[in-house]
Amino acid sequence: MKRRLCMSDEEHAAYVRANHIVAGSHKVKDPCADCLQAFSIEMREAGLCDGRPGGMPGRRPASSPTLMQQWREASRRYRQRHREVAA
């Protein structure tokens, strides 16, 4: 697991140890997956961010407007299907 600029060596080592304790699919390959957008903005302003919050570098953050629209549309289709089945 790559150490990110926002983490000291000690923080990175602790993160790696904690990640090994986590079960199965909850393990992450990049510490940025656990990063909050506000923290990322602060670190970016300080020149200490080399990733993307909520995901791997180069991917959209988990809270992107496009993703939210997709979730809303999927939820709307799901509710519509269940209304049709109930009718």
- Per-residue pLDDT tens digits for 10-65: 999 999 998 888 877 778 888 888 888 888 888 888 999 998 887 544 555 555 56
Determine the structural domain holding residue 15 and report its residue range: 9-22+29-86
Distance in angstroms (rounded) separating the CA atoms of residues 77 and 19:
36
Task: Give a yes or no: residue 3 inside a domain.
Answer: no
pTM recorded for the entire structure: 0.55
Task: Give a yes or no: residue 49 inside a domain.
Answer: yes
Task: Provide the number of structural domains found in the chain.
Answer: 1
Task: Give a yes or no: residue 66 inside a domain.
Answer: yes
| Spatial CB neighbours of 48, under 8 Å, sequence gap ≥ 6 | 5, 6
Q: 34: closest CA among 19, 17, 44?
A: 19
Task: Give a yes or no: residue 36 inside a domain.
Answer: yes
Task: Give a yes or no: residue 51 inside a domain.
Answer: yes
Ramachandran quadrant class, 24 (left: phi over 0; alpha: psi -120 to 50; beta: rest): left
Task: Give a yes or no: residue 38 inside a domain.
Answer: yes
Q: Is the dihedral of CA 62, 64, 65, 66 positive or negative?
A: negative
Task: Give a yes or no: residue 48 inside a domain.
Answer: yes
Task: Give a yes or no: residue 76 inside a domain.
Answer: yes
Residue type, 30: D
